[in-house]
Structure 1
């Protein structure tokens, strides 16, 4: 039996034993059965590809493992919902003649989600340096001064941020 077969079997056993419990836990966190069911499925998809199941050893604490994986998805869900709400508020504030078409709105929202994912993948200091450069137009010297770091470190941070941008576009 290959390790991927073992992982599928272990994930199947986890699903059978803990799916109902996980949906209940997610419903409590989200307040919505439909979102809970969706995130439970997403959790098991992530679990199936996780390194923890690539060994022959059974999980010692399966519910703790599921809560960790699902908790990240819950955070992403709330962040995504917050971003979408801010987008809808921005659209509502626009004069009617400036409101983009539904197709453009969808495309822009997708781009916002991609930028959000890219920023979320950065270390906090890297993200802060990147945002200072991109949103406030700060020079590397200004960023270094504001963050109390060297210009060389700012350059390294910016290189990391740009690399993350490139990786998400591939």
Structure 2
């Protein structure tokens, strides 16, 4: 099939998918969010993801597929909101002379989101060990005692977390 013909088919399928499922998807997302504007954005983002993958023609169960993508976007939305709220609460405890520009605030929030994604990619115990060390400042032996792990296991978990961090940093550096 010539490129223009396949593009036209993809466009028609995407248009049909959007026309047939936009309203129910918006309603589905709206029930999970407290803002009609956020629901509209996530509904659009759901269709944009499909459009970007150019796989609309291969979707067999559109409602299930759309709901799966939307569910991930809603989870990401709430996780990001939680991170932003924690960050704003931390900022509120700082002296008034401590001012961050909107650009730096954006960079900090993006970084927090990356760290959150990194941590959620780690196994639960590795994540817990890493947080106890890096956030709470506990020594490896304290963590081992608290979690009933060997010191060698704590060190192995920390190495695993650091390697994951370095891999992600390398991905960003080389992109």
Q: What's the TM-score, normalizing by structure 2?
A: 0.74
Matched, 1:46 2:49: yes
Instruction: Give 3-state SS (helix, strand or coil) of 2:137's partner.
Output: coil
Is the CA contact 2:141–2:151 (under 8 Å) kept in the aligned structure 1? yes
Q: Answer with 79-88 or 100-109: which moved more.
A: 100-109
The corresponding residue for 2:77 is 77
Q: Any idea what the Cα deviations from partners look like across 1:62-81, whole Å, max 9, x if unmatched?
A: 32222222112111111211
Cα distance in structure 2, aligned partners of 1:49 and 1:151? 46
Is the CA contact 2:140–2:155 (under 8 Å) kept in the aligned structure 1? yes
TM-fit CA distance, 1:91: 2.1
Q: Any idea what the Cα deviations from partners look like across 1:108-161, whole Å, max 9, x if unmatched?
A: 222222222222222222210110111223333332332233334333322332
Cα distance in structure 2, aligned partners of 1:118 and 1:164? 7
**Aligned length in residues:** 165
Q: Answer with 148-157 or 131-140: which moved more.
A: 148-157
Q: Any idea what the Cα deviations from partners look like across 1:15-34, whole Å, max 9, x if unmatched?
A: 33212211111112113222
The corresponding residue for 1:18 is 21
Is the CA contact 2:59–2:65 (under 8 Å) kept in the aligned structure 1? no
Is the CA contact 1:11–1:44 (under 8 Å) kept in the aligned structure 2? no
Cα distance in structure 1, aligned partners of 2:86 and 2:102? 16
**Unmatched segments (≥5 aa) in structure 1:** none
CA RMSD across the alignment = 3.1
